[in-house]
Copies of this chain bind each other. A is one copy, B any other.
Amino acid sequence: MKIAVLGGDGYCGWATALYLSARGHSVAIADSCVRRQWDAELGVQTLTPIRPLSERVQTWQKITSNTIDVFMGDVTDYDFLSSMISAFEPEAVIHFAEQRSAPYSMIDRKHAVFTQMNNVVGTLNLVFALRELRPDCHLIKLGTMGEYGTPNIDIEEGYIAIEHNGRKDVLPFPKQPGSFYHLSKVHDSHNILFACKIWKLRATDLNQGVVYGTVTDETALDEALVNRFDYDDIFGTVLNRFCVQAAIGSPLTVYGKGGQTRGFLDIRDTVRCIEIACLHPAAPGECRVFNQFTEQFSDLDLARMVKAAGERMGLAVELDHLQNPRVEAEEHYYNAKHSKLLDLGLEPHYLSDSLLDSLMNIAVKYRHRVDPSIMLPQVDWRHPSSERRRRVTDTSEPVAPAKIKRAAASASSAKRGASPLASK
């Protein structure tokens, strides 16, 4: 199958491109490498030393004899996008090419506007390009479970049957996103649903949970294929950050009470879900929604699991409860359906002790690269300003949000940012 991976230099995109290539599909990556620029802008870098995209793809070809075409450009540039679609003639397009960080979108007005423009325009360009050039091509779009927020009812997969005043309909599930980034994904979902309706495009909107893990069978083949492992306050996800904090002897920073519950999945399931979607395309005119995650955890669940994993390695791990920089419920009902991908054959990799141990091993392996100053939340939902950007050039210690309490579990006296293991 000919599959284009937009955003194929990013975390999920790179793993997906390699997985699909290894499974015999003909893969092209389109990317502008702007994700690497955002690292530079923020003064952060992935824990794992990723290589330039050209080197990544050349290494893959050397090892496997599989070619991955690279189209270097931005999907918000319609000339680029349409020429890429014309040249490659994909049967499926996986659209990862969006700004994907909630804190990034909350830095200030410019980052909020940029995130919505970048994501909405890229997706609009894509539906117009498919309509014009490849109307039968299957659009697979990465959404997020964060589109739904935390309603007090079960979360269905995209649509909900509503009975109201004696009448019935099946309608798009109401959305309550929690950042300007999450809002951009809601905007995309509405735009795509409409494009399917009027132009009979085929689309699968994957509302993905929080992804963890970095190693897949393919990225493990060579050090030059290593994937991202983001642990900073902007692009890092919670489980990665906890593992790195445990590895360097910093307390795990739980936001508020830590009762925030979300869907999670292993990156090895991300890549498989994408292939499942490709192999079972939506029908013309159909905008299908799958909730793409395998398990639900709260922040505090994860912190306790990482603490236990750290202790198995002989590390003393503490928990700090910081004032929550986000505006979100810290105790809430959460029950999100996620059976459609299982029905199509997904066999989940659940979060196990062995996976946690392997994540901890990666964190320990690369701990000489850790910058402990980039893990404390510096973006405040209630007060967006450009402070986060100024901090990059400020050599003083970042100011942590007020600490609520520290779990009295350990006698460690490690100070944040002062660990002998830290590189800075």
Interface residues of A (CB under 8 A from B): 78, 109, 112-113, 116-117, 120-121, 124-125, 128, 151-154, 160, 162-165, 167-169, 171-180, 183, 186-187, 190-191, 193-194, 197-199, 327, 333, 381-382, 384
Contact = CB atoms under 8 A, between A and B. Distances in A.
A124 B116 contact: yes
Nearest to A156: B164
A232 to B, nearest CB: 22
Q: Looking at A175, A177, A179, A198, which has the most chain B CB atoms within 10 Å of its CB? A: A198
Given A120-B187, A124-B109, A194-B183, A151 B169 contact: yes
Contact of A176 (B116, B128, B171, B191): B171
Contacts of A169: 151-153
B167 A152 contact: yes
Contacts of A165: 153-154
A168 B187 contact: no
Given A171-B174, A198-B327, 13 more contacts: A109-B124, A116-B187, A128-B384, A152-B168, A153-B165, A153-B168, A160-B174, A172-B176, A175-B190, A180-B194, A183-B194, A197-B327, A198-B381
A186 B109 CA distance: 20
Main secondary structure on A side of the interface with B: mixed
Q: How many copies does the complex hold?
A: 2
Nearest to A164: B153
A190 B183 contact: yes
Contacts of A116: 120-121, 124, 187, 191
Contacts of A199: 382
A113 B124 contact: yes
6 closest Cβ contacts across the A-B interface?
A: A171-B174, A152-B169, A109-B128, A153-B164, A198-B327, A187-B187
Contact of A78 (B109, B162, B183, B197): B109
A175 B183 CA distance: 14
A62 to B, nearest CB: 40
A154 B160 contact: no
Nearest to A198: B327
Contact of A153 (B124, B125, B154, B162): B162
16 contacts: A117-B120, A120-B120, A120-B187, A153-B162, A153-B163, A153-B169, A154-B167, A160-B174, A172-B175, A177-B194, A180-B194, A183-B190, A183-B191, A183-B194, A186-B190, A198-B381
